[in-house]
Amino acid sequence: MNTAATTLRPAYLRGAGGTSFGRHEGCGALDLMDLAAAQAIDASGLARHEIDGVLCGYATTLPHLMLSTLVCERLALRPHYAHGLQLGGASGAAMLMAARELVRSGRCRNVLVLGGENRLTGQSRDSSIQTLAQVGDADFEVPNGASVPAYYALMASQYMHRTGVTSADLAEFAVLMRAHAAQHPGAHLRTPITVQEVLDSKPIARPLSLLDCCPISDGAMALVVSAEPAAQGAVAMTGAGQAHRHQHLTAMEDVLQCGAAEAAQQAFAEAGLAVGDVDYLGIYDSFTITLVMLLEEIGFAPRGGAVQRLRAGDFARTGALPLNTHGGLLSFGHCGVAGGMAHVVEAWRQMTGQAGDRQLRRPRHAFIHADGGVMSSHVSLILSHEDRP
């Protein structure tokens, strides 16, 4: 028997695409995913028959039992492997991690990863609130009428009490994300805002106000993970990690240790990198408190100190550690699975020099983090730009 260790192949982000986020009247989830997939496949330089794997995220507006197969039929794909995945806001990053493993193992060579949903125009506000609230505990949380913002508000209150983070601190991140979105033509919300406007916006669940919360959008994103790099640049998926410590808020042991650091440590160890090596961030930001908690737990800022880094300009487009240069969920928008995928699409565009007016000096190492539920499921990814001869 051959006992030699199996050599894992590298996996690259070869192509990416997506729709604008906002209102897409008359477009269903499949329509939006079709548009994003066509862009990603075209950017990859592959023909459709070369796509041999498909991973598809769920859509609350299209609760089909075999969504990945339905997507393949719509896109005229005949892959050797297809799978649907459901992990809340972490679904996109988890699918990319799974696609990486499919490519590294040799099971597939070119895996299309996509998500999309017409959550703004295809679902009533009340239906959306009710659907999302089901992440709560069926016995202890849902019967009390809590919504997702309420779950995050309760967590935020504890976090702010223990760290000294204030509502004004949180508001500065909403302002930054809006400033970044203003530079992206596909962003849902582009009108500049001020800290005072955030603080004065409609209370949703104290301490969170309207502008502390991401908007509900229509949209889709897609990426191709491949055994071969893109012509535009070799962006390898060099590290990945996950952590799952709880599902429900009432089962959370410590708001200072949600699992984000654990997932990040796995990714950094696998990539052979450290926090200081990263020069671009794509961090999940469903609420302002989400962004602050993740930045601090992972180690990109000390406890209670994320706003000091922001004020120093570190997270700006021209700073040492640009953050969500597309505007994040808070301003680019949120349409379910594709919302988190947009962070990766933006990172790929920055790393391959395709970000247009938003283009930075090309990042060398990008760190991506997504969470699902109420800081429940955590997935970290590290993307590294390789120098090619």
Q: How far is CA 43 from the centre of its chain?
A: 20
Distance between CA 248 and CA 190 in Å, rounded? 33
pLDDT digits (tens, 9 = 90+) for 357-382: 999 999 999 999 999 999 999 999 99
65 falls within a domain: yes
Mean pLDDT of the 174-201 span = 98
Render pLDDT for 109-132 as a digit per residue (tens, 0 to 9). 999 999 999 999 998 878 877 788
Q: Judge whether 42 and 15 are in contact, CB under 8 Å.
A: yes
Task: Give domain status of residue 270, yes or no.
Answer: no
Domain presence at residue 136: no
Per the listing, tokens 């703004």 go with: 120
Q: Does residue 99 belong to any structural domain of this protein?
A: yes
Q: What integer pLDDT is reported at residue 388 of this predicted model?
A: 62
Classified as helix, coil or strand, 223 is strand
Confidence band of 6 (pLDDT split at 50, 70, 90): low
For residue 341, which phi and psi values (nearest 5 degrees)?
A: -70, -25
- Give pTM, 2 decimals: 0.96
CATH number at residue 95: 3.40.47.10
Residue numbers of the domain that contains 64: 12-122+217-226
Q: What is the pLDDT of residues 240-295, one digit of tens each?
A: 999 999 999 999 999 999 999 999 999 999 999 999 999 999 999 999 999 999 99
- DSSP H or E segment with residue 150: helix 148-163
Q: How far apart are CA 364 and CA 358, in angstroms?
A: 16
Give me the percent of the chain exceeding a pLDDT of 70.
98
Q: 230 near 15, Cβ under 8 Å? A: yes
* Domain contains 373: no
Please report whether residue 310 resides in a domain.
Answer: no
24-60: pLDDT as tens digits: 999 999 999 999 999 999 999 999 999 999 999 999 9
User: φ and ψ at 134, to 5 degrees?
Assistant: -70, -5
Q: For position 285, what pLDDT does the model report?
A: 98
What's the total number of domains in the chain?
1
Percent of the chain scoring above 90 in pLDDT: 90
Nearest to 301 by CA among 331, 336, 326, 276: 276
Q: What is the pLDDT of residue 4?
A: 39
Q: Would 339 be classed as within a structural domain?
A: no
Pairing of strands 53-57, 203-205: unpaired
Antiparallel, parallel or unpaired: β 280-283 and 365-372: parallel
Q: Give the per-residue pLDDT at 253.
A: 93
The pair of structure tokens assigned to 47 is: 């023909």
Residue 126, judged by CB atoms within 10 A of its CB (0-12, 13-18, 19+), counts as exposed
- Helix, strand or coil for residue 378? strand
In a domain, 176, yes or no: no
